[in-house]
A = this chain, B = another copy of it.
Amino acid sequence: MLQGHQSWQFENKPVIISASSVVGPDESEGPLAEEFDIGHGDLMIGQKSWEQAEKKLLEDAATHAIERANLTKEQIQFYIGGDLMNQTISNGFAARTLGIPYLGVFGACSTSMESLALAAHIVNAGSAKYVMAGTCSHNCTSEKQFRYPTEYGSQKPPTAQYTVTGAGVAIVAPQGEGPVVTRATIGRVVDMGITDPFNMGAAMAPAAVETIGAHFRDFCITPGYYDLIVTGDLGQVGYDIANALFEKHRFPIGETEYKDCGLMIYDRTKQTFVNSGGSGCACSATVTYGHLLKQLKRGALNRILVVATGALFSPLSFQQGESIPCIAHAVAIENGGGST
């Protein structure tokens, strides 16, 4: 199933038989509010800490996706997940609750598509009947871990992004009702020397463009093959840079529609606190598993390429003067299993 140098073609057509998206209060007031399965009115989700709240979002999304597939958690053979927390505790503790054999992954905000690519790979190879992929993030756990104590309410530059509170989960199976995962391209780390953690969009945009280019090279197709190409969480700054890079490299992105999940999830004219747009593992996960899969089901879209982007730095690497290495993983999801 290898295609080109860094891509997989899933010829056995693994199906996303079920998915779920759970979000917090700000996402429940954004333009996609109606698309998410569960929206919470407060950031604590009835828990005692933000960390427990983040884990609860993930557990709820997983439980909901499993129920929607008419399965029990005992039938899910592998759970692939990760998050932004140190030692990915949200997923580790959720995997304890769920009791499903667990493969932890870390790709920062690219985790959504890294986990989906691996889930599709395992199902396509005949190595499982049901595999679950999921990820989550929480605005307050990220703020306190990556930036400043949340209570400071420190001001941010307009290039900053706002971490999505939410979780997204998908269940992949060899057959069933639903869109098909047709292809995946695994990204390389790209680092253009940006050291400002309040400008992640600029840091991540070149990684997205690199993976999108590799995808089209490996499969010998052009952007026009897809109805929509969507990046994970570049925000306005990164989105503009990505467009400029496409133009610079004479890449025919104009053949198709190009959007960014970080620009879709909030209304930046009203929710001005999000600055450049949404970010976090849950950004691409909730927009993909909430909104985009429903657009595929409605027939408003038929072929999409989701390119989740991640910044692989830590507060410590930043403090030690390192720049921000970034990565992007691309997964194609199609109605009817694609044409190739």
Contact = CB atoms under 8 A, between A and B. Distances in A.
Interface of A: 1-2, 5-6, 8, 49, 51-52, 77-78, 82, 84-89, 92-93, 95-96, 99-108, 114, 118, 121-122, 124-129, 186-189, 191, 312-317, 320, 322, 325, 327
A6 B100 CA distance: 9
Contacts of A312: 87-89, 92-93, 95-96, 104
B49 A101 contact: no
A77 B8 CA distance: 11
Q: Which among A89, A189, A322 has the highest number of chain B CB atoms within 10 Å?
A: A189
Contacts of A52: 320
Contacts of A129: 2
Contacts of A88: 106, 312
Nearest to A123: B2
A92 B325 contact: yes
Q: Which among A52, A84, A108, A327 has the highest number of chain B CB atoms within 10 Å?
A: A327
Given A2-B126, A103-B186, 11 more contacts: A1-B125, A49-B320, A86-B86, A88-B312, A92-B313, A93-B312, A102-B186, A103-B114, A106-B106, A121-B121, A121-B122
* 4 A-B pairs closest in CB distance: A92-B312, A125-B125, A87-B314, A6-B101
A186 B315 contact: no
Contact of A51 (B101, B102, B126, B316): B316
B121 A188 contact: no
A237 B5 CA distance: 46
B189 A77 contact: no
Contact of A87 (B49, B96, B108): B108
Given A187-B101, A313-B92, A317-B93, A121 B125 contact: yes
5 contacts: A49-B320, A87-B108, A92-B312, A101-B188, A106-B106
Q: Which among A78, A89, A100, A187 has the highest number of chain B CB atoms within 10 Å?
A: A89
A118 B103 contact: yes
A107 B104 contact: yes
A92 B187 CA distance: 12
Contacts of A49: 320
A114 B104 contact: yes
B77 A316 contact: no
Contact of A96 (B2, B127, B191): B191
Nearest to A125: B125
Contacts of A95: 188-189, 312, 325, 327
A145 B37 CA distance: 38
A320 B51 contact: yes
A179 B129 CA distance: 29
Given A121-B125, A127-B2, A317-B51, A106 B105 contact: yes
A127 B118 contact: no
A276 to B, nearest CB: 21
